[in-house]
Structure 1
């Protein structure tokens, strides 16, 4: 399967397990995770990255990302796991 088989080029979002997921969600999560984990990132940048990570988690869980991929960093893994335990 190719990316365009999941979302056509002209599509910007899709429904996955009842959740609207925008194109780019996984890429944005990875960029925010890198920033959040970077010790040289400023506190304000880390706070924004964490907010954006938390906002993306329902979509990432709906995609089943964490059923396939394990987060190696323990702090980020805890953030992801805690969000899965909290409904809503």
Structure 2
């Protein structure tokens, strides 16, 4: 399956049967936010924004099944995701 087969170019989001919405770019945004959150040299304000955005993305990523297929290698981030 190709990305455009899952979510065509003209479509920006998908709604699961339980009402959870995943937007195009959610996985990429999670990765960018995770890098900021894990960076000990990151500005505390940027880290706080990244944490909020990580939390906001978790329902969609769980509905997508991301964490059933991929494991998080950073211990602190994995614990954070499991706690929330």
- CA–CA separation in structure 2 for the residues paired with 1:2 and 1:36: 30
Structure 1 counterpart of 2:75: 74
Structure 2 counterpart of 1:16: 16
Which stretch shifts more, 32-41 or 11-20?
Answer: 11-20
Structure 1 residues without counterparts, runs of 5 or longer:
84-88
Structure 2 counterpart of 1:49: 50
Q: How many residues align?
A: 83
RMSD between aligned residues: 0.9
- CA–CA separation in structure 2 for the residues paired with 1:9 and 1:46: 31
- CA–CA separation in structure 1 for the residues paired with 2:30 and 2:52: 11
Structure 2 residues without counterparts, runs of 5 or longer:
none
TM-score for the superposition, normalised by structure 1: 0.90
Deviation at 1:33, TM superposition (A): 0.2
| Closer/same/farther in 2, CA of residues 17 and 77 from structure 1, 3 Å limit | farther
Structure 2 counterpart of 1:6: 6
- CA–CA separation in structure 2 for the residues paired with 1:24 and 1:17: 20
Post-superposition Cα deviations, 1:13-47, rounded to whole Å, max 9, x if no partner, equal 00235211000000000000001111210111100
